[in-house]
Amino acid sequence: MAPLEVIGAGMSRCGTDSLRAALNILGYNTHHMFDGGPLYKNDELTEVFEEAYKHPEKHVDWDIVYNGYNAAVDCPTISFLPRLFEKYPDAKVILTKRDSESWYKSVYNTIYRIYELPPENPEEFEENVANMVKAIWLDGSFQDLQKFKDDPKTIKKRYEAHNAWMIKNIPANRLLVLDLRDGIDWDKICPFLGKPEPAVPYPHVNTTASFNEKHKVIDSSTA
* CATH code, 66: 3.40.50.300
Identify the pLDDT of residue 94.
98
13 close to 106: Cβ distance less than 8 angstroms: yes
Residue 223 lies in a domain: no
Identify the pLDDT of residue 220.
44
Distance, CA of 107 to CA of 112 (rounded, Å): 6
Residue 133 lies in a domain: yes
Residue 27 lies in a domain: yes
Residue 69 lies in a domain: yes
Of residues 165, 174, 167, 169, the one with CA closest to residue 192? 174
Tell me the residue range of the domain where 162 lies: 6-215
Identify the pLDDT of residue 201.
95
The residues, any chain, with a CB within 8 Å of residue 140's CB and separated by 6 or more, are: 134
How many structural domains compose the chain?
A: 1
Residue 222 lies in a domain: no
Identify the pLDDT of residue 40.
55
Q: ∠55-58-59 over CA atoms, to 5°?
A: 140
The residues, any chain, with a CB within 8 Å of residue 181's CB and separated by 6 or more, are: 98, 99
12 close to 99: Cβ distance less than 8 angstroms: no
Residue 1 lies in a domain: no
pLDDT tens, N- to C-terminus, the chain (223 residues): 568 999 999 999 999 999 999 999 999 999 987 655 555 566 678 888 999 999 999 999 999 999 999 999 999 999 999 999 999 999 999 999 999 999 999 999 888 887 776 555 555 556 778 888 888 999 999 888 899 999 999 999 999 999 999 999 999 999 999 999 999 999 999 999 999 999 999 998 755 455 545 545 544 444 4
Q: What is the pTM of this model?
A: 0.86
Q: Can you say how many angstroms the Cα of residue 15 is from the centroid of all Cα atoms in its chain?
A: 9
